[in-house]
Every structure is written in structure tokens, then in C-alpha cells.
Amino acid sequence: MPDNGAGKSFYERVAAATPGGDVLMKCLQCGTCGGSCPSGADMDSTPRQLFAMISAGMEDEVLSSNTPWYCVSCYYCTVRCPQEIPITMIMYTLKRMALARGHYHKDAHINWSKSFTNFVELNGRSFELGAMTLFGLHNPFAIVKQGGLGVQMITKGRMPPVPERIRNMPQLTAILNEAKRIAEEEEV
């Protein structure tokens, strides 16, 4: 049975929506996650602070925080966490919750995520050039700053100029559709 979490605390809903999320209550507040995070300097709250806020029930503040949107899924925090808390997964949960509520920090974050997943759904691989171009349509100013770097990366062979596609795309499409179906069911 999908659980829409009615009547549960914010903390309980975050834990329930994250695989293995129930260990969140064991957070020591040691700061290994925040110390390890390559985007830590840009986050308005470190992951550790978010966990304290989640446990304090500060739902609006947490869901409008930029922290989950700056997560680059490098998994440093998850690997190093002494309490084995699936921190990256919790960031995904918070992003989903913020999206569902239209409650996210800035349009730019959601636009970037959509641009990125658009190409994954299309080709089964990310396509940086395409994602950046698509993102640039929504945020022309942001993209102008990055242009020079992009040209350098293409000339040095660090970024392919044309998209690559995986071999069995229909299979991935079927998986993604099934995942979306489950997600929609859970939102009800």
C-alpha cells in the first residue's frame, strides 16, 4: 500500500520515503557530511543542519532550502557517514517533496534537473552540451558565464559535441515508465 504519510511528522515522512531512511534518527550531528560535501560552501544549510531541522519539524525551511539542489550525488557523505545514513538518498527525497509542493528554492534548480533528465530519458545517457543548451533557454544569463568553459571542454575532448545513445533504449524507457507509475501512485 502506498503511504501518503497523512498524520505523520515531517521527520517520519522523510524517513518513510527514503530507502533505509529510518536510521536518520541516529544522526550524531558530527558534520562529516557537511565537511565532505564538494558543494558545501554554496549550501545555505549543511546536510547535518537540514537533519536537525527535519527532526525539529521545520518543514517549510527545509523544503525551500537550496541544499538538496546543490547535491551532485557524489556520495562522499554517504560513504563516510559513521552512522551509515543514506544522505544522498535523503537529498533525493527532499527534492521530490519540494517539487510535489512547488516549494523549491529557485526556478533555476528545477530547470537544470529537468534539462538533465530530459536527455537521460531520451538517450539513456547524459548529454552535457544539450542539457546546458536547454537550461540556457530558461536561464540565458547563467549560461553566458559558463560558455567559455564549455568551448574549452569540447576542444579538449572532455565533453562530446553529439549525444550518445545506449543500446537497448526501449528497455530503459519501460523501466522509467514503471518508476513514474509507482511515483504517481505514491503521490495520490
Partner 1 sequence: MSEARIGVYVCHCGSNIAGTVDVAAVAKWAEDLPNVVVSRDYKFMCSSPGQEMIETDIKELGLTRVVVASCSPHLHEPTFRGACSRAGLNPYLFEMANIREQDSWVTTDQVEATKKAMSLVAAAVSRVAYQQPLESLFVPIDPNVLVVGGGVAGIQATLEIADSGRHVYLVEREPSIGGHMAQLDKTFPTLDCSACILTPKMTNAANHQNVTLFTWSEVEKVEGYVGNFTVTIRKRARYIDEPLCTGCGVCQEKCPKKVIDDVFEAGIGYRKAVYIPFPQAVPNTPVIDRDNCIFFEKGTCKACEKFCPTGAIKFDQEDEIITLKVGNIILATGYDLFDARRIPQYGYGRLENVFSSLEFERLTNAAGPTLGRVVLRDGVTVPKSVGIIHCVGSRDKNYNNYCSSICCMQSLKFAHMVKERTGAEVYEFYIDIRTPAKAYDEFYQKVLGEGTHFIRGRVAEVTDAARQPGEEGKLIIQAEDTLIGKQRRIPVDMVILSSGLEARADAKEVAIKFGISCSADEWFIEKHPKLDPVATMTDGVFVAGACQGPKDIPASVAQGSAAAARVMSLIGQGEVEIEAATAIVNEETCVGCQECIPSCPYGSIEFLEDKKKAHIIEALCKGCGTCVGTCLSKSITLRHFTDEQLVNEMIGAMQSMKLFEAQDLVIVE
Residues 50-79 that bind partner 1 (CB under 8 A): 76
Can residue 20 be called a binding residue for partner 1 (CB under 8 A)? Answer: no
Q: How many residues contact partner 1, by CB under 8 A?
A: 21
Q: Which of 3, 20, 22, 31 binds partner 1 (CB under 8 A)?
A: 31
**Amino acid present at 72:** V
Can residue 14 be called a binding residue for partner 1 (CB under 8 A)? Answer: no
Beta carbon nearer to partner 1, 105 or 138: 105
Q: How far apart are CA 50 and CA 56, in angstroms?
A: 10
Q: Which of 32, 67, 88, 93 binds partner 1 (CB under 8 A)?
A: 32
The label of the residue with cell 528554492 reads: 105
Q: How far apart are CA 65 and CA 46, in angstroms?
A: 10
Stretch in the footprint of partner 1 (CB under 8 A) among 44-52, 98-106, 150-158, 176-184: 44-52
Beta carbon nearer to partner 1, 54 or 134: 54
Q: How far apart are CA 77 and CA 66, in angstroms?
A: 17
Q: For residues 165 and 124, is the Cβ–Cβ distance under 8 A?
A: yes
Can residue 80 be called a binding residue for partner 1 (CB under 8 A)? Answer: yes
Q: Could you please report the per-residue DSSP string of 24-84?
A: GGG-----HHHHH-TTGGG-SS-HHHHHHHHHTT-HHHHHT-SHHHH-----HHHHH-TT-
Can residue 166 be called a binding residue for partner 1 (CB under 8 A)? Answer: no
Can residue 126 be called a binding residue for partner 1 (CB under 8 A)? Answer: no
Residues in touch with partner 1 (CB under 8 A): 28-37, 40-41, 45-46, 48-49, 76, 80, 82-84
